Homo-oligomer: A and B are copies of this chain.
Amino acid sequence: MMGSEQILHILYLIAIVAEAMTAALAAGRRNMDWVGVCLLGCVTALGGGSLRDVLLDHHPVSWVQHPSYLVVTGVAAFATIVIARYMHHLRRLFLFLDAVGLVLFTVIGCNVAIGLDMPLIVVIASGLITGCAGGVLRDVLCAEVPLLFRAELYATVSVATGLIYIAGLRLGFSHDLTTAVAMTVGLALRILALRFGWSMPKFVYTQSLH
């Protein structure tokens, strides 16, 4: 039987593959070349964790310790070029896997910060950066205002997942149970947000301060 560590590792690989593949589609919408597709896939899937590690001085960063992640995400992005025409049939699957990635990356990020004895707010921030910064890098490299800042309950899901995770651990529940509950609630929130089009209110300001 698989332990929870192994299950989380397999989920992690699925999540970085899903992130790399959706980034590859974004690259295709910008008419990037094959190399650009692979690079954008790697940066999107691994950039959030790398930024967290650099900010928290947590070395080696994930892909330095596990270089195979670079290969997995690069190959996944490249494969997307071939199978892109079939991917809109799998639209729901990819949105689901992207949501799995969001909550899983968040839990991993919280866990790294807890391992470094960081205070509560930094633990939440670490989860948020790990879960969301890869997509921000993708959008910046596509010269777009990051989707994270504009739409949908995405950062909110990450913060909610992190809060549940930390609360569970502080209340003395087991790591496995806490992880399962935090990820399930976060995933449900994200899926409901997608299903019902929930989003944060927008702040519209038209004047110039200068």
Contacts and interface: CB of A to CB of B under 8 A. Distances in A.
Given A40-B149, A209-B88, A201 B67 contact: no
A174 interface: no
Contacts of A140: 140-141, 143
Interface residues of A, number: 70
Nearest to A156: B35
A30 B203 CA distance: 8
Number of copies: 3
A50 B133 CA distance: 15
A87 B145 CA distance: 24
A4 interface: no
A86 B156 CA distance: 28
Contacts of A31: 150, 202-204
- Give the 4 A-B residue pairs with the shortest CB-CB distance, closest first: A28-B205, A36-B149, A67-B121, A33-B200
